[in-house]
Amino acid sequence: MSRFLLTRTLDENAAESALRADVLAGLTRPDKWLPPKWFYDGRGSELFEDITRLPEYYPTRAEREILLARAGEIAAASGARTLVELGSGSSEKTRHLIEAMPGLELYVPVDVSESALTGAAETLLAEHPRLRVHALIADFTRPLELPDSPGPRLVVFLGGTIGNLLPAERAEFLRAVRAMLSPGDALLLGTDLVKDEATLVAAYDDAAGVTAEFNKNVLSVMNRELDADFHPADFEHVAVWDTEQEWIEMRLRARTELNVKIRALDLVVPFGAGEEIRTEVSAKFRQERVREELAAAGLELTQWWTDAAGRFALSLATAG
């Protein structure tokens, strides 16, 4: 029996249709916005990898620190025979968990990128001769049906990506995760924590300008995929901390008044000088807020780990 299985639950044209719908909905509003998932074409993914190595960008290092220190505890607490990772990408961080799980039988990575899934699977299968991998090409923000798998199962959602979802979206997402879980299953969730404004803003507006290039990459995506005529130099990268909402917003601010044609949508988008597109929200959390949001979805926070500096947290939650 093959140790690797790849299942596509996402229509091959789904990404194109979703991009069209998001751009049409987001850029025809008075308060323009785009979802952050459109950063991540090939170039955007490369830029994000560069961001994770910047001195200002602490979340990746902080989360890895926790995983290296606590993987054994996480494995023991979950007792998982199946590991499900939402938004798995290269599965690099997950390796620390897999190595600490002697009873693990099946890894289920979920991602929209087939190349990322197959590349990660090839490496993991070579490293772990007893492991099986059932990869799912799927969008984790949509309803998801997991393959039959041995329990207990541990669903992991790392990187603080949950902060990119607005509160109502987070609630819906957590309810959907709860629906996946059977008695004895658990969720391991990564959350970036509230801290001083200077540290937060610097993480999203680095001195080398890599995050600015990453932010502007969404304009290149629209140019290529929707035959638009955005000029990245016409826009300025902006990162601001919203004290009330406790989240970072990334924006693109038009330097001058201009009109942008998006030919595939037969659309002209006017911008006033200084007008902005919100391209990302990245919420930061406190432990009590995480506990409350999990509880609202029917999940009970049972374990809480942070890095030594208290910048980032991994929490383990079980079905309540």
Q: For 36-94, what is each residue's pLDDT tens digit? A: 999 988 898 899 999 999 999 999 999 999 999 999 999 999 999 999 999 988 888 88
Give the Cα-Cα-Cα angle 63, 99, 185 (nearest 5 degrees).
Answer: 75
Residue 198: the pLDDT is: 98
Report residue 244's pLDDT band, with 50, 70 and 90 as the boundaries. very high
89 touches 78 (CB < 8 A): no
32-46, 121-135, 222-236, range with greatest mean pLDDT: 222-236
Helix or strand (DSSP H, E) at 34: none
* Per-residue pLDDT band at 113 (split at 50, 70, 90): confident
Return the higher-pLDDT residue of 12 and 281.
281
Q: Residue 169: inside a domain, yes or no?
A: yes
- Residue 16 inside a domain? The answer is no
The answer as to whether 52 is a domain residue is no
Question: What SS3 state is found at 303?
Answer: strand
128 falls within a domain: yes
How do residues 174-232 score in pLDDT, each as one tens digit? 999 999 999 999 999 999 999 999 999 999 999 999 999 999 999 999 999 999 999 99
The reply to whether 256 falls in a domain is no
Collapsed DSSP state (helix, strand, coil) of residue 115: helix
What is the domain extent for residue 168? 57-141+148-195+286-319
The pLDDT of 154-170, averaged and rounded, is: 96
Structure tokens at 261: 């044609």
Q: What is the pLDDT of residue 53?
A: 96
In the predicted structure, residue 247 carries a pLDDT above the cut 60 = yes
| pLDDT at residue 320 is higher than 80 | no
Instruction: With respect to residue 183, please indicate whether it lies within any of the assigned structural domains.
Output: yes
| Cis upstream peptide for 152 (omega within 30°) | yes
When divided into structural domains, the chain yields a total of 1
Supply the pTM of this predicted model.
0.94
Question: How far is CA 48 from its chain centroid?
Answer: 11
Kind of pairing between the strands at 247-254 and 276-283: antiparallel
* Confidence at 120, pLDDT banded by 50, 70, 90: confident
Does 69 map to a domain? Answer: yes
Please check whether residue 253 lies inside any domain of the structure: no
- Please compute the mean of the pLDDT values over residues 227-242 and round it to a whole number: 98
Domain CATH code at residue 304 = 3.40.50.150
Percentage of residues in the chain having pLDDT higher than 90? 82
pLDDT over 60 at 1, yes or no: no
Q: In the predicted model, is pLDDT for residue 10 greater than 90?
A: no
Could you tell me if 85 and 156 are in contact, meaning their C-beta atoms sit under 8 angstroms apart? yes
